[in-house]
Amino acid sequence: MSTPVRHYVGGGFDACGDPFPLVDPACGRTVAEVPAASATLVDRAVNAAREALRGPWGAWSPADRSRVLHLVADGIERRFEEFVAAECADTGKPRELAATVDVPRAIANFRAYADLLAGRGEHSWHTGTPDGRGALNYTVRKPLGVVAVISPWNLPLLLLTWKVAPALATGNTVVAKPSELTPSTACLLAEVTAEAGLPDGVFNLVHGEGANAAGQWLTEHPGVDAIAFTGESGTGTSIMRAAADRLAPVSFELGGKNAGLVFADADLDEAVAGTVRSAFTHSGQVCLCTERLYVERPVFDEFAARLAAETRKLDGYGPMISAAHRDKVLGYLTRAAVDGEVLAGGGVPRFGDDRDQGFFVEPTVLAGLSEDHPVVREEIFGPVVHLAPFDTEEEALALANAGPYGLAATVWTRDLARAHRVAPALEVGIAWVNTWNLRDLRTPFGGVKASGIGREGGDHSLDFFSEPMNVCVKL
Ligand code: NAD
């Protein structure tokens, strides 16, 4: 561990609270202890954030804030290897993934919002619109106040900074609560924000679990003005209840059961390679991963055979985040083996080293299950994809759009007209055509149905984290 796990409140580090173990999922060993924040500490953090709103931070111009966000990005860049090592230690993910996705994206998150703010200039936040009837109207954009940011374990730094950066860009103060399973990079981030010159209390960090613990105390706190949350849909429901009492705005990025559609005219080499990525990146523990793939019948057998063959070749993949999550995924695989067909994987790999005590699951391709089977309906969040055939475009769309979730989808086809017909008809927040997880941080990001509330990314984030106010002056 590169850095001890500590809370960061009002500009000071603190390790108070009952400790709980931090387990390395790649070998099952306890590697550190995490202090669980008490309700009193959460209260102190919210109060520190409120106090900071009234301090110098409140007077910083957008240009000042843009500069400090770039300094935070510089700080992560300077300590790149420490961040990578901490992210790998907490999640067990391969170094390459943390070094090419998680940490670079965290840097990009800060730079993107810093640039967006600078690009808008000092005055574009105040747009004058005379109405020609003797009055001048203008809009003032204000911060929401104290924002709680609650994040999951799968892309810990990336998803935390995805919300912290725009919240700070718009002048809010933040109390962050990362997943109890992956607290380390958030601590490094706290150090970097201090080094960058963010005033005390602007960014605060508390550790602990969710229900009946730091997460819940934070979302229920009357001093929290808005909640930005990424995690399971069920947790979103609980948080929305907590926010409802005081009508606090929420932005939710939630679970998914993402579909892919492979049409017979697709470039099958690309569709197979793309599906290996979309199903098995980070061992399927990315909210955007494909868990249901529908393949047009004439190419179903060939596609299934090729995907299974490529899947069997995979090595160097990381573990499930915890023993409990591994057991949950294996529970689905046991049912799938009874009710359907296992085309590749399906069990626990044996390495003959430390990893045999870790929480690994083989990348798995399934087929033959009905659409109402739990494996096809419920989010597994592991290295598992189920294949089923379809005959018509209408059927493909109906299959993809079934179910409670609506986060992301992929379409593989060489027919341009079909691509433009099918993609917008998908009931999701993001549809990729002939690719997966290609991101431009200015585009709207989020889900429909049980996959989320609101959109983040670019201006969408700046809009959520700020409140527009109209001033009308009679001339
Ligand atoms: P989770 O909902 O269990 O936990 C997420 C965070 O919420 C953690 O910090 C946890 O401590 C906290 N929490 C839990 N219960 C709480 C409560 N009652 N009140 C306040 N906070 C609470 O999710 P997870 O297992 O960490 O992450 C996996 C889930 O996240 C999957 O469903 C995945 O699809 C989803 N996810 C979605 C996106 C997206 O962008 N849509 C991105 C990544 C992950």
- The answer to whether the beta carbons of residues 321 and 421 sit under 8 Å apart is no
The reply to whether ligand 1 has any atom less than 6 angstroms from the CB of 260 is no
Cα separation, 256 vs 443, in Å, equals 19
The reply to whether ligand 1 has any atom less than 6 angstroms from the CB of 182 is no
Three-class SS state of 291: strand
The reply to whether ligand 1 has any atom less than 6 angstroms from the CB of 290 is no
Task: Indicate the angle between helix axes 80-91 and 184-196, nearest 10 degrees.
Answer: 160
The reply to whether ligand 1 has any atom less than 6 angstroms from the CB of 177 is yes
Task: Indicate the angle between helix axes 62-78 and 156-169, nearest 10 degrees.
Answer: 160
According to DSSP, the residues that pair with 173 across neighbouring strands are 146
What's 448's DSSP letter?
E
The reply to whether ligand 1 has any atom less than 6 angstroms from the CB of 381 is yes
Determine what percent of the chain falls in helix, strand and coil, rounding each to the nearest 5. 45, 20, 35
CA–centroid distance, 289 to ligand 1, in Å, is 16
The reply to whether ligand 1 has any atom less than 6 angstroms from the CB of 181 is no
The reply to whether ligand 1 has any atom less than 6 angstroms from the CB of 193 is no
Alpha helices, H only, 262-364: 268-280, 297-312, 323-339
The confidence score (pLDDT) of residue 474 equals 87
- Residue minimizing CA distance to atom 34 of ligand 1: 255
- The answer to whether the beta carbons of residues 223 and 194 sit under 8 Å apart is no
33 is catalytic: no
CA-wise closest residue to 45 among 243, 208, 245: 208
- Of the listed 82, 180, 220, 253, which one is catalytic? 253
CA–centroid distance, 153 to ligand 1, in Å, is 8
Question: What strand order describes the sheet that includes 226-230?
Answer: 12-14, 7-9, 203-205, 173-177, 146-150, 226-230, 250-253, 452-453
| DSSP assignments along 16-53, one per residue | -S-EEEEE-TTT--EEEEEEPPPHHHHHHHHHHHHHHH
The reply to whether ligand 1 has any atom less than 6 angstroms from the CB of 220 is no
Q: Do the bridges between strand 203-205 and strand 250-253 make them parallel or antiparallel, or are there none, so unpaired?
A: unpaired
233 CA closest ligand 1 atom index: 32
Cα separation, 105 vs 180, in Å, equals 21
Pocket test for ligand 1, best of 91, 150, 380 (most atoms within 8 A of CB): 150
Tokens standing for residue 414: 């060489």
Residue 168 has phi, psi (to 5 degrees) of -70, -40
CA–centroid distance, 233 to ligand 1, in Å, is 8
The angle formed by the CA atoms of residues 20, 25 and 30, to the nearest 5 degrees, is 40
Domains of the chain with bracketed CATH: 7-254+451-474 (3.40.605.10), 258-440 (3.40.309.10)
Three-class SS state of 390: strand
Longest dimension (CA), the chain: 81
Tokens standing for residue 84: 């990578």
What's the predicted TM-score (pTM) here? Answer: 0.96
The confidence score (pLDDT) of residue 400 equals 98
CA–centroid distance, 178 to ligand 1, in Å, is 9
The reply to whether ligand 1 has any atom less than 6 angstroms from the CB of 231 is yes
The confidence score (pLDDT) of residue 138 equals 84
Can you give the pLDDT of all 475 residues of the chain as single tens digits? 457 899 999 999 999 999 999 999 999 999 999 999 999 999 999 999 999 999 999 899 989 999 999 999 999 999 999 999 999 999 999 999 999 999 999 999 999 999 998 776 554 555 566 666 788 888 888 999 999 999 999 999 999 999 999 999 999 999 999 999 999 999 999 999 999 999 999 999 999 999 999 999 999 999 999 999 999 999 999 999 999 999 999 999 999 999 999 999 999 999 999 999 999 999 999 999 999 999 999 999 999 999 999 999 999 999 999 999 999 999 999 999 999 999 999 999 999 999 999 999 999 999 999 999 999 999 999 999 999 999 999 999 999 999 999 999 999 999 999 999 999 999 999 999 999 999 999 999 999 999 999 999 999 999 999 999 988 888 8
445 CA closest ligand 1 atom index: 40
379 CA closest ligand 1 atom index: 32
407 CA closest ligand 1 atom index: 41
- The answer to whether the beta carbons of residues 398 and 387 sit under 8 Å apart is no
